[in-house]
Structure 1
Amino acid sequence: MAARTGTESDTELVARAVADLARQTAFPVAFGGLERDGAIVVTATVGTRTRSLQGLVVHATRGLGGRALVEKRPRLALDYRTSRNITHDYDRAVLGEGIATLFAIPVLVAGTARGVLYCGTWSEVPVGDMIARPAFAVADALGSELRIRDEVERRLALVPRTAHVPGLDAATREELRESYAELRSIASVVTDMQVRGRLENLERHIAAISNEDGGRIPEYGIALSPREIDVLSRVALGATNAEIASGLALKEGTVKSYLQSAMGKLEASTRHAAVAKARRAGILP
């Protein structure tokens, strides 16, 4: 199980997820945290009456959350106090909060449990689809955000940090262009403004260092919309309209419209000419 060092952004992300969990399940108590060195560190709580859960460290296999972490599946203690299916290492914190029913949902990223979200009540309450389904959706959304951040960090590590790298070979330049297209796709679903800002800076950096003319700034007063650039970046990789639509979660007709609009702005008669002009203008790498 890979450990992840928590950052302020991660803490804020978990806090938003915990707030969503409380709101969407209507359970009065929600809390959770990410995995660090084989344990869950609770960094966010909502609706608690005491501070007993804040900062709680739940080790793998221990308690309800520890089991959810290692088994990678939700775990339920309908009557936490009398449950025989878990260890009771954390009774002081959980029962100290007065929780009767506790539901733990692992946060999965590429098959790895990266955190656990909990929701609980002060009286025994069955957990049916009306509660479980939105809880799963919140955990899935958090897992998706973490996956996106992982990919951003991976791409950041791969991109040269110099302003311009002269004489890039064809394979390296193509790899940079693939990274650019993927980052455009990631940026379209990122909600964290700090991460989105880093992505935008990285996109400009890639466009500059891979430009064969030395990374000049956009010219001709051409202003393409973000989606037009998304579509052109994938056209540059040889993708068909259908493939672009699938990759960007758009309708094929919408992709065609964006492409035609970009071609008009670039005064290009073909998709390939549009890509070439966008590269000369410094819009694409």
Structure 2
Amino acid sequence: MAARTGSVGETELISRAVGDLARRTRFPVAFGGLEHDGAVHVTSIVGARGRSLDGLVVEAHRGLGGRALVEKRPRLALDYRTSRTITHDYDRAILGEGISTLFAVPIVVTGTARGVLYCAAWHEASVGGVVAQPAFRVAAEVATELRVRDEVDRRLTAIPPSSEPLAAGAREELRETYAELRRIAAGVDDEALRTRLESLEQRLAALSGDQRTPAVELDVSLSPREIDVLACAALGATNSEVGASLGLRETTVKSYLASAMSKLDASTRHSAVTKARRAGILP
């Protein structure tokens, strides 16, 4: 059965994740894919000596990955060949690569398994916290990006063509989405993922602009944290609420807000938000 690759963005996402998995866990083989039509379609493989894993499609409930997908929890086979806790539907692919130890970690997004990442070794290898925790982190990073993409796509479907002004309700939805993206990005350590989140934020800010009102160019450069705070404040959040949302002290929030207001030459937070929106910094 041929594998479905999904969108280019999904393929690139899994390719990067599989590379990270191999690098962080130091397992010689790593592979994985997202779920489509009830099966995991493997689209990226790193470290394999042969081609037996190419085009692998793992059905739900079948094999180690199929169990991980359905149970939404990691599954481990220290000696894959003799394991009695899984079906052996995919022996031709797994044993064809000479794999002995196989570790499958599901990618779970808001309670739904969306894919599986695998670590593998040609010999029996222990899988303790040194291996498991990095694998969990990689899966969590993929889940975060998928969740962000899902939310952005959901919100953007309600946005009219750019030639039309946004209705008040749609504009408010977009602003809430933008603030949520800022909150998510603030808790992401992976620099590449933060960059992609910022790209999505810029798209949202551009989409919210009223084409009848030209943007005002300001010689202002706000720091990421100043934008985070301003985006939350734009929704009417108090300093205390902003701090709780971003994991900052209230005094730190006040400091960032004051700095943003100074840069924007604004005497109030409302004025700062208005100027940031007119400049295209905020949606």
TM, length-normalised to structure 2: 0.86
**Counterparts in 2 of 1:45-64, with a 5 A limit?**
45-64=45-64
Alpha-carbon distance between aligned partners in 2 of 1:238 and 1:129, rounded to the nearest angstrom? 42
> Identity across aligned pairs (percent)?
63
Aligned partners of 1:15 and 1:44 also within 8 Å: yes
SS at match of 1:191: helix
Kindly provide the amino acid, as one letter, of the partner of residue 257 in structure 1: S
Kindly provide the amino acid, as one letter, of the partner of residue 203 in structure 1: A
SS at match of 1:106: strand
| Range moving further from structure 2, 222-231 or 19-28 | 222-231
Alpha-carbon distance between aligned partners in 2 of 1:39 and 1:279, rounded to the nearest angstrom? 44
Aligned partners of 1:31 and 1:118 also within 8 Å: yes
Kindly provide the amino acid, as one letter, of the partner of residue 192 in structure 2: T
Shift of 1:282: 5.5
Specify the alignment match of 2:204 in structure 1. Answer: 202
**Cα deviation per residue 1:173-208 (whole Å; 9 max; x = unaligned)?**
4334323433444566583556643431321221x1
Name structure 2 gaps, 5 residues minimum: none
Alpha-carbon distance between aligned partners in 2 of 1:121 and 1:5, rounded to the nearest angstrom? 25
Mark the CA change 1:19 to 1:280 in structure 2 (over 3 Å): closer, same or farther: closer
Specify the alignment match of 1:191 in structure 2. Answer: 192
Aligned partners of 2:19 and 2:46 also within 8 Å: yes
Mark the CA change 1:231 to 1:164 in structure 2 (over 3 Å): closer, same or farther: farther
TM, length-normalised to structure 1: 0.86
Mark the CA change 1:89 to 1:254 in structure 2 (over 3 Å): closer, same or farther: same
Aligned partners of 1:100 and 1:120 also within 8 Å: yes
| Equivalenced residues, count | 276
Alpha-carbon distance between aligned partners in 2 of 1:155 and 1:113, rounded to the nearest angstrom? 22
Aligned partners of 2:105 and 2:118 also within 8 Å: yes
Alpha-carbon distance between aligned partners in 2 of 1:176 and 1:225, rounded to the nearest angstrom? 21
1:266 pairs with one of 264, 267, 282: 264
Alpha-carbon distance between aligned partners in 2 of 1:47 and 1:176, rounded to the nearest angstrom? 42
Alpha-carbon distance between aligned partners in 1 of 2:281 and 2:220, rounded to the nearest angstrom? 9
Alpha-carbon distance between aligned partners in 1 of 2:157 and 2:5, rounded to the nearest angstrom? 17
Aligned partners of 1:215 and 1:282 also within 8 Å: no
Alpha-carbon distance between aligned partners in 1 of 2:217 and 2:144, rounded to the nearest angstrom? 37
SS at match of 2:192: coil
Pair 1:218 & 2:216 matched? yes
**Cα deviation per residue 1:126-176 (whole Å; 9 max; x = unaligned)?**
22222222211211111112111212212221222233427x45x454334
Aligned partners of 2:155 and 2:173 also within 8 Å: no
Alpha-carbon distance between aligned partners in 2 of 1:76 and 1:45, rounded to the nearest angstrom? 19
Aligned partners of 1:231 and 1:259 also within 8 Å: yes
Alpha-carbon distance between aligned partners in 1 of 2:58 and 2:25, rounded to the nearest angstrom? 23
Alpha-carbon distance between aligned partners in 1 of 2:18 and 2:278, rounded to the nearest angstrom? 47
Name structure 1 gaps, 5 residues minimum: none
Specify the alignment match of 1:230 in structure 2. Answer: 228
Mark the CA change 1:90 to 1:234 in structure 2 (over 3 Å): closer, same or farther: same
